[in-house]
Structure 1
Amino acid sequence: MAHSDSKIDYIEFNVREIARAKHFYGAAFGWRFTDYGPDYCEFDDGRLKGGFTTTAPVSVAGGPLVILFAEDLEQAQSKVEQAGGTVSRAIFSFPGGRRFHFRDPDGYELAVWSDKGA
């Protein structure tokens, strides 16, 4: 089996405004972007690539929970809030670490986890 076979390779978000999505994810997580016309932008977090598109309606119902990693969970939460995100579940502990959930400006719920701290 190839190294990348059956691994998450790309995530795509339907967004209302590409510029707003770029601002939020750039400010909160330092992602880099490549524009491909007015309706599509690729993001790169340094490990995984994905895209923002306005070619389909935004849907916040269902779908996978995308979970990001942070060395400093409190700092990540602060950056999310400063960038315009809303914490939907405060930091909580689970076996192996801690995490919080948030909603981005388009209403998508994501989470950030860390194995650091207690």
Structure 2
Amino acid sequence: MQDNLINYVEFKANDLEAVKTFYSKAFGWEFTDYGPNYVAFNASGLEGGFEKSAEPVVNGALIVLYHSQLETVLETVKTNGGQVVKDIFSFPGGRRFHFKDPAGNELAIWSDQGL
């Protein structure tokens, strides 16, 4: 993995089983379940996942970058005009935070370092 590159894409979905069936049959994607609210996919060209959401899905894609030094890149994002909308939190496999760029696009940056 390299710092500052798009590493993962995350989508929202109301029905994880339906979305798994669709993408596996239509495109051959493979899935790994992480509890009742999250499923990761691979064999798609770029790894990603679907997070279960009860809300209507609007602009449901979350682009996730990787950085080995999460605290350092958080400060870089803030210094350069990014707005942190979710501070650093842990999840199975790593930690991440979410931010909005100056245009209002929400992205995330994750790291598997410092666990």
Give 1:96 shift. Answer: 0.3
Letter in 1 for 2:80: A
Q: TM-score, normalised by structure 1?
A: 0.49
Task: Tell whether 2:102 aligns with 1:64.
Answer: no
Task: Tell whether 2:97 aligns with 1:95.
Answer: no
User: What are the superposed Cα offsets for residues 36-63 of structure 1, whole Å, 9 maximum, x if unpaired?
Assistant: xxxxxxxxxxxxxxxxxxxxxxxxx514
Give the alignment of 1:1-118 within 5 angstroms. Answer: 6-8=44-46, 61-118=58-115
Give 1:6 shift. Answer: 4.2
Q: Measure, in 1, the Cα distance between the counterparts of 2:45 and 2:89.
A: 27
* Counterpart secondary structure, 1:81: helix
Structure 1: give runs of 5+ residues left out of the alignment. 9-60
Task: Calculate the aligned-residue CA RMSD, in Å.
Answer: 1.5
Letter in 2 for 1:96: G
Letter in 2 for 1:65: L
Size of the alignment, in residue pairs?
A: 62
Q: Measure, in 2, the Cα distance between the counterparts of 1:80 and 1:7.
A: 27
Distance 1:76 1:7, change over 3 A: same
Letter in 1 for 2:90: S
| Off by >2 Å, runs of 4+ in structure 1 | none
Structure 2: give runs of 5+ residues left out of the alignment. 1-42, 47-57
Give 1:7 shift. Answer: 1.8
Q: Measure, in 2, the Cα distance between the counterparts of 1:99 and 1:6.
A: 23
